[in-house]
Amino acid sequence: MSVRRWGGEQLLLALPVLFLVVFFYGPIANLLREGLTKDGTFSLEFLRTILTDDYFRHVILFTLWQAFLSTLASIALGLPLAFILTHYDFPLKRIVRALTIVPFVLPAITVALGFALLFGRNGYLNQFLMGLFGLSEPPLPIMYSLAGIVLAHAFYNAPIITRTVHAAWERIDPRYEESARALGASRFFVFKDITLPLILPGLLSGAALVFLFCFLSFPIVLSVGGGRFSTIEVEIYTRVVTRLDPQFLNYKIGAALALVGLAISLAVTYLYLRLQGGLARQTEQLRPRPTAPLFAGVRDLLRPTKLFVWLYVLVSVILFVGPVAAIVVDSLREETAEGARWTLRWYSYIFTPNYEALVGDSPLRAIVNSLIFGLGATAIAVPLGLIFAYVIARPGFAWTVRLRRPRAGEDVRSRRSLGDTLLMAPLATSSIVLAFALLRAFNAPPLRLVGTATAVIIAHAVIIFPFIVRALVPILESLDVRLTEMARSLGASRWRALREIELPLVATGLIAGAVFAFALSLGEMSATLMLARPGLNTMPVAVYRFLSQHSLGAPSAMSVVMIAVSAIAFILLERWGERALRF
Amino acid sequence: MLRRAALVALCIGLGLAWGSPFAQVGEGSKLVVYTYESFVAWGPAKFIKTEFEKRHPGIEVEFVATGPSRAMFARLVNEVISGGTPADLFLGEVNDVPRAKKFGLFTPLKPEEIPNLQFVPKDLLLDPDLAIVPYEHGFITLVYDSTKLKPEELPRTFEDLTKPQYQKKLIVQNALTSSVGQSFLFWTIYNYGDGKYLDYWRRLLPSILTIQPGWSAAYKLFTRGEAPMVVSFSTDECFDARYKPLLLNSQGYRTIFGASVIKGTDNPKLAREFIDFLLSEAVQEKLPDTEVMFPANSQAKLPDKWRTCAVIPPSPVMIPLDVVSENADRWLDEWARLVITGR
Amino acid sequence: MRVTVKDVTKRFGATIALENVSLDVGDGELVALVGPSGCGKTTLLRLIAGFETPDAGDILFDGRSVLGVPPERRGVGIVFQNYALFPHMTVFQNVAYGLKFRQTSPDFVWTVRLRRPLAGEDVRSRRSLVRELLELVGLSGLENRMPAELSAGQQQRVALARALAPSPQVLLLDEPLSALDAKLRERLRLEIKKIQRTLKITTVYVTHDQEEALAVADRVAVMSVSHLEQIGTPQEVYNTPATEFVARFIGRGNLLPGELLGVDATRVLVRPERIRLNQSANYTLSGKIIAKEFAGDAVWLHVDVSGTALIVKAPSPDQALHEGDAVHLGIDRSDLYILPSDRRSPPTP
């Protein structure tokens, strides 16, 4: 490679790399080191404890098991919607499609709250069913059980499956299916022999991502499961935050757990990236897939496919709309001695600047903090992520990083996946582990960040960074190199071409990425909870704190605010960010 | 390009400026009290703040109550280890004092430093060093919703509680984060003994609907009707006539809440005055209505209705503090194992 | 199997794709459906296949309406322009796919047999059938390749073999050769014709290339925007086009004003190859060569005659002609054709 390649580009790459090294790789490595030392010397003792002790094995296996079940449930819930979106036309289709972005922007804690309201033994749904059928016991014992955790995860992640499968399905040339039909295949065989194998890569890659998210899940396990369930993340949190011992053994155990958790999630990330790479490149499609109207008259309703579709619509409306509706309703009601009545007091309460000991802050401050942290994290992560994505997306990148030419027959793609995995490690790392690592790393001068807003902003920036990169890379990859070459041949300098040709073209994608990042930061609870101090609370943390209050009006009202912001985010993303959210 | 870099710098700057390290608070102008959430949500915090500030002009009292008592305790430990806490006082349960001593958290006090201490019965002063000064006490029992369970349906003993008809009918608190939960655990250990209590819990688990982080969260679910029984205090009927205490084995487990001065506080004198103020009749007479607990000051007058609604168990029990000190960590670990793995 | 399209109309929203189109394809006949993009020829094909339903009219196979019959039961084989080979299956699996559904149907006759089965040979064996088909299309030995490994021409032939495997009664080809380069196209269209002849299978062949249509078809159906202009043999369509559209679409031609030749008609159609250079004939015109295209086996001359441009095809070795040369063009009466629309009504007595 020519010397010229090592120029401004590589130096620019140093910025995000430096950021990651100082605020991610460094602290994580430090944390892992902590888990592997005892009294200052290398020791596998804690790791061995984690892997041999019955209790920790249970925790690890449970984490894997609930993630697996949640993935299956997400597939069961998300696949039919992908089918409906691909084959049918109906009013508000665009909005429904847009709603599949929601799980990326809705804070997990609001899901937990909505579930408690809707599915609690005394929640809206059980009450409704009990009243309808005159039962004495609630028929749906979902909360505080594994079923509850799995269902909440499915609610949260099914749209991801829908997105990936729908995207893959739309890319299938309808002529494959038509050829099969002409050859005599019934609809069933067409699906089994042709469609399914072709959407399988998309399905699997979506499933891998869902598995990862469920594996790393924290607020939902904590709130919906209750004290009888512990996953790796919950266990780390519990040990580090509440189970302190004077010898700090729990720190070590937490670090060892983090090590194991990280290993597993990196493996899953690698798998996901491999599956992603294997997805068929988009084939040029001359004819858009024909769609049939969803409502086609009463007689059509009785056809088995349609009947199933409508049943699914009913269930999914309850499941997807229910929790959010429950939150909105609850935010407007209050229990008095005479009974329940409508009120706006919760909203005036959460916008009050008065100090609330329960939050350690004023609720208004929590809202303001969320916005400021979000802006700060976005302002850091977006430029760094853009630089990073830009360099990765260039076709020459694979060469500049590799130190030697790939040997004949060597799978370039698998190597790329390996590198990608390491680069995407922040995605695979849970926020709990990250916060833990930052806590341990920045405990002392010169970088004494513990208890500062900076720590929170940085934690958020690290968390959202991989999402931004993954959103921007496909956009930048699709940028036609020839446009830049054209500009250069007309006399524009490298920077000028960048500024005037390339950036405007990726502008909408960039904005979408920024909006996405902001929404993610807004909804982040786990790391913030670990790093929380009075004055540093955000909305999700406030909601979590409010959850133990007697009435759920306050957390509901604050959740509605978060949902509203998320809604704005997702409308913008729907407009501009189709590519940005192509997972 | 340049503009963006400037923006980045700006935001980093903002962040740094905003989050000034939470080192020391102002010189004696603010008294920060860490306590459990129900003290603020239901309790007398507001009254105490108003009254104390009245008596000490120029002083601001700030309560921080972001979780149940043991979680707050852990938070305090965390902060102390990480280099500094803004807290001057801690209000918590007596069973955490041995732990606090291992971390060196609290400043031992002398009786003469707290004048109102003379009115506190000696049997409440469990810690000879006075690292904790009790301000209220009560008894941990089960509490049931009398509109949901008829007297003949009630469990009377610990063993009764494991019967199949009580499946998913009990809400308990997490012993790791809640002092009420911890007390309940100790109560079972008192009755079943070291080691064997685990076997009891194994049989009790099916009856438990959920384990909640603290008393507030558990009680919220209880009052919303998620389950008809919860671990709470024998005096709950004074709060709401529907919620009556259930004295398993005719017992109740003694619990004592007190205040401690945190070592290294900038305002030791003010902190002691605060503790004395907690023991004053003005505050103590507020406790039954707000905390629904018995005041520590024997001079304080109880509300009239407490003559009938407040239940004192015929056989209150409590594991001695030194036994707790030796075994609590192990017990909590064993219990946590059982509750998560079921074994 | 006779395929009849009777008075079919098809709309997509506000657009009319086909309007009152009728077509009759005889048993074993190859009809080419030709026309410019967007004229509806693909729609017509999809109606025959059953992927669309007409808004009006009927479609009959051997006199029986197939309107309620789904595509998988119509017994049609279809080859798309992009071949649509199943990318996750081998060549063998692609070709054998249709056999899963048709093999046991008693209605269908083995039309593929090229030779008598040998004694003891399992006539029905799928493997042997697939192999025979691949042999038929000239792709023996490629059973285990994946479609992505094949060239375009090979893919096209696999698509054809796949469509033929279940012994369809009707073969539908939707621009099967459009994606290939010129030489390959010429070669393959003859092969397709040969296979079609051998199997005697009723075929509808859609193409936008009129030359291709003339080369392969028994009859040509010319379509323009949603309706049929003319159906006839290639010769009929070429020599006696029914409308101006057909005249312009099929082959190259000259539509000259009647006055230029002194013929009593609005316009006159003269094919370029019929014009004689520098020879006398019934009608003679003089003009100047304004452009010259060398086409290897011929020379195309653009000649200006009194302001009207003509195209003349001259066999190449004979003429040494250059731009700017003056030429005489000779046209015989038998070389003329007058479109029905251009005929003047006979003078009233």
How do residues C205-256 score in pLDDT, each as one tens digit? 999 888 999 999 999 999 988 889 899 999 999 988 888 888 888 888 888 8
Instruction: Using DSSP, state whether C236 is helix, strand or coil.
Output: helix
DSSP letter, residue A536:
-
Please report the residues numbered 341 through 400 in chain A whose beta carbons come closer than 8 angstroms to any beta carbon of chain B.
355, 357-360, 372-373, 375-376, 379-380, 383
CA distance B45 to B40: 5
pLDDT at residue A310 above 90? no
Rounded mean pLDDT of A434-445? Answer: 78
- Could you read off the pLDDT of C279-295 as tens digits, one per residue? 878 888 888 889 888 88
At A485, list the tokens.
């070459």
* Cβ-count burial B56-81 (b if 16+ within 10 Å, e if not): eeebebbbbbbbbbbbbbbbbbbbbe
DSSP codes, A412-454: HHHHHHHHHHHHTHHHHS-HHHHHHHHHHHTSSTTS--TTSHH
Residue contact A244–B174, C-beta within 8 A = no
pTM over 0.90: no
| A288 inside domain | no
In a domain, A360, yes or no: yes
C210, C25 Cβ separation under 8 angstroms: no
Q: What is the token pair recorded at A261? A: 């958790």
Report the Cα–Cα distance between both ends of chain A, in Å, rounded: 33
The residue assigned the tokens 């309406």 is C65
Contact B22 A143 (CB under 8 A): no
Q: What is the pLDDT of residue C72?
A: 87
- Segment A441-455 shows an average pLDDT of 70
Alpha-carbon distance A316 to nearest alpha carbon in chain B (angstroms): 25
Q: Do B209 and A383 touch (CB under 8 A)?
A: no
Provide the residue type at B230 as one letter: V
Q: Which amino acid, A342?
A: W
Q: Which residues of A touch B211 (CB under 8 A)?
A: 226-228
Domain count, chain A: 1
How far apart CA C217 and CA C190 sit, in angstroms, is 10
Per the prediction, chain B carries an average pLDDT of 88
- Residue B93: pLDDT band (50, 70, 90) is very high
* C282 DSSP assignment: S
Q: Which domains does chain B have, with CATH numbers?
A: 24-137+256-308 (3.40.190.10), 138-254+312-341 (3.40.190.10)
Q: Which candidate from C82, C98, C163 shows the least CB-CB separation from A175?
A: C82
What percent of chain B shows pLDDT beyond 70? 92
Among B70, B77, B340, the residue with its CB nearest the CB of A55 is: B340
Q: What is the pLDDT of residues A97-112, one digit of tens each?
A: 777 777 667 788 888 8
**Under a CB-based contact definition with an 8 Å cutoff, are residues A161 and A79 in contact?**
yes
Is the pLDDT at B150 greater than 80? The verdict is: yes
Contact C102 A184 (CB under 8 A): yes
Query: In this structure, what CATH number is given to the domain that contains residue A194?
Result: 1.10.3720.10
Residue A277, classified by CB atoms within 10 Å of its CB into exposed (0-12), middle (13-18) or buried (19+), is middle
Whether residue C163 and residue A183 make contact (CB cut-off 8 A), yes or no, is yes
A53 at B interface, C-beta within 8 A: no
Q: Are A374 and A518 in contact (CB under 8 A)?
A: yes
| C287 Cβ contact partners less than 8 Å away, ≥ 6 residues apart | C303, C304, C305, C306, C310, C326, C327, C329
- Taking the Cβ of residue C82 and every Cβ of chain A, the question of whether any pair is shorter than 8 Å is answered with yes
Tell me which residue of B33, B36, B31 sits closest to B255, measured CA to CA.
Answer: B36
User: In b/e form, how buried is each residue of B270-297, taking b as 16+ CB within 10 angstroms?
Assistant: bbbbbbbbbbbeebbbbbbbbbbbbbbb
Per-residue pLDDT tens digits for C123-176:
557 777 888 888 888 888 888 899 989 998 899 999 999 998 888 889 999 999
Helical pair A45-52 and A249-277, crossing angle rounded to 10 deg: 70
- Which residues 199-238 in chain B show a CB within 8 A of chain A? 205, 208-214, 216-217, 219-221, 223-227
- Chain C CB within 8 Å of residue A244 CB: no
Half-sphere exposure for C221 (CA within 13 Å, toward CB): 25
CB of B88 closer than 8 Å to CB of B265 = yes
Question: Is pLDDT above 50 for A131?
Answer: yes
Q: Name which of A172, A158, A148, A168 is nearest A96 in CA terms.
A: A158
- Residues of chain B neighbouring A452 (CB-CB closer than 8 A): 15-16, 18-22
Tell me if C3-247 shares its fold with C252-342.
Answer: no
Over residues A324-355, the pLDDT tens digits come to 888 888 888 877 766 778 888 888 888 877 77
Is the predicted pLDDT of residue C104 greater than 50, yes or no? no
The interface residues of chain A toward chain B in range 390-429, judged by CB-CB distance below 8 A, are none
Q: Which residue of A has its CA nearest to B214?
A: A548
- The count of C-alpha atoms lying within 13 angstroms of the C-alpha of A411, restricted to the half-sphere facing its C-beta, is 9
Strand pairing of B106-107 and B133-145? unpaired
Concatenated DSSP letters for A325-378? Answer: HHHHHHHTEEEETTEEEE--HHHHHHT--S-BTTTTB-HHHHHHHHHHHHHHHH
Third-level CATH fold of C252-342: OB fold (Dihydrolipoamide Acetyltransferase, E2P) (2.40.50)
Which amino acid belongs to residue B36? Y
Q: Residues of B with CB below 8 A from A379's CB?
A: 7-8, 10-11
Which sequence spans correspond to the domains of chain C?
3-247, 252-342
CATH number 3.40.50.300 is the correct assignment for the domain at C3-247: yes
Rounded average pLDDT over A57-73: 96
Q: If you write DSSP's letter for every residue of C41-104 in order, what string do you get?
A: HHHHHHHHHTSS--SEEEEEETTEE-TT--GGGTTEEEE-TT----TTS-HHHHHHTTHHHHTT
Chains that contact C by 3+ CB pairs under 8 Å?
A: A
Residues A193, A180: contact at Cβ < 8 Å? yes
Phi, psi of B242 (to 5 degrees): -70, -30
On the question of pLDDT at A492 being above 70, the answer is yes
User: Under 8 Å CB-to-CB from B325, ≥6 apart: which residues?
Assistant: B98, B99, B101
The structure tokens 């949902």 sit at A563
Residue at B270: amino acid letter: L
Tell me which of A338 and A559 has the higher pLDDT. A559
Q: What is d(CA A401, CA A407) in angstroms, rounded to the nearest whole number?
A: 15
